[in-house]
Amino acid sequence: MTVEFTINGVNVEAAEGESLLEVIRRYGFEVPSLCHHHAVEPYGACRVCLVAVTDKRGRTKLTTSCNYQVASGIAVQTESEEIRRNRALVIELMLAEAPDAEPLKKLGAEYGVLKSRLAREESKVVEDRDGCILCGLCVRVCTEVVEVSALNFTGRGDKRNVGTPYMETPQNCIACGACAYVCPTNCIGFVEEDGMRKLKKWKRELPMAKGEDGRAVAPKFQLNHFIEKAGLPKDFYKKGGPGSR
């Protein structure tokens, strides 16, 4: 079913139940976000995708657009002084936890937030967080897309963190790198050296499989995971598949 509504006064159409953020961007309007990725369910963690939505009764509220489902007759505003002020406050809060995260600093500069007034003393910053803003993208992609569930949230309050069970090396991690790929602050990352893929943040190192040309393709554990999930022959990557040896 198609619904009609407006974005910044422009008449638009979308499928009922679509993510408002996806529709906003499809029509060429810009709204920032850090925790949103099309591959996983919307979560609304970072809060920077705030917009103003006016319903049919004329009531207006600020809401995260990533997990707001479009509806007929609403009026959406993506920019206003109030919206920018609230986005700036959210960015400042995140900068207090991840003051050295370059993508976050760049976004902050767009909103006039060059540093956080709430920054902790260096000695009180959670060392293991290291640029993490607790958006949960790595957790969700590991669970929903890769279907390994090697990561999760740990702790509570200001001790809340993202990591592995008991913060030890996760034996079910296949070193696919999906967590590093979706991380909005680039705080995970991985390197490939000496025939190994290494995810330092999770203390995981796995051997790489090689293609016919002798170059590393992917971790062997990752290829085996694909074989199992797709129901492929166990020698798929050895016999003409996009392969390993």
pLDDT of residue 37: 93
CA distances from 231 to 59, 153, 244 (A): 52, 31, 17
33, 105: one domain? no
75, 88: one domain? no
Q: Is residue 215 part of a domain?
A: yes
46, 90: one domain? no
pLDDT of residue 211: 77
Nearest to 237 by CA among 147, 221, 204, 177: 221
pLDDT of residue 123: 40
SS3 239: coil
Cβ count within 10 A of residue 115 = 12
- Percent of the chain surpassing pLDDT 70: 92
Q: Is residue 169 part of a domain?
A: yes
Radius of gyration of the chain measured on its C-alpha atoms: 21
pLDDT of residue 174: 94
* pLDDT, one tens digit for every residue, the chain (245 residues): 899 999 999 999 999 999 999 999 999 999 999 999 999 999 899 999 999 999 999 999 999 999 999 999 999 999 999 999 999 999 999 998 888 899 999 999 999 998 888 776 554 545 555 789 999 999 999 999 999 999 999 888 878 889 888 778 889 999 999 999 999 999 998 899 989 999 988 989 999 998 777 788 889 889 999 888 888 888 787 754 554 44
36, 118: one domain? no
Residue 211: its H or E element? none
What domain count does the chain have? 3
Nearest to 90 by CA among 69, 62, 124, 71: 62
Q: Is residue 244 part of a domain?
A: no
pLDDT of residue 184: 93
40, 93: one domain? no
Q: Is residue 245 part of a domain?
A: no
Q: Is residue 180 part of a domain?
A: yes
Question: Domain limits at 201?
Answer: 137-238
150, 197: one domain? yes
**Using CA atoms, how far apart are residues 170 and 180, in angstroms rounded to an integer?**
15
160, 217: one domain? yes
150, 230: one domain? yes
pLDDT of residue 159: 80
Is the full-model pTM beyond 0.75?
yes
111, 183: one domain? no
pLDDT of residue 244: 44
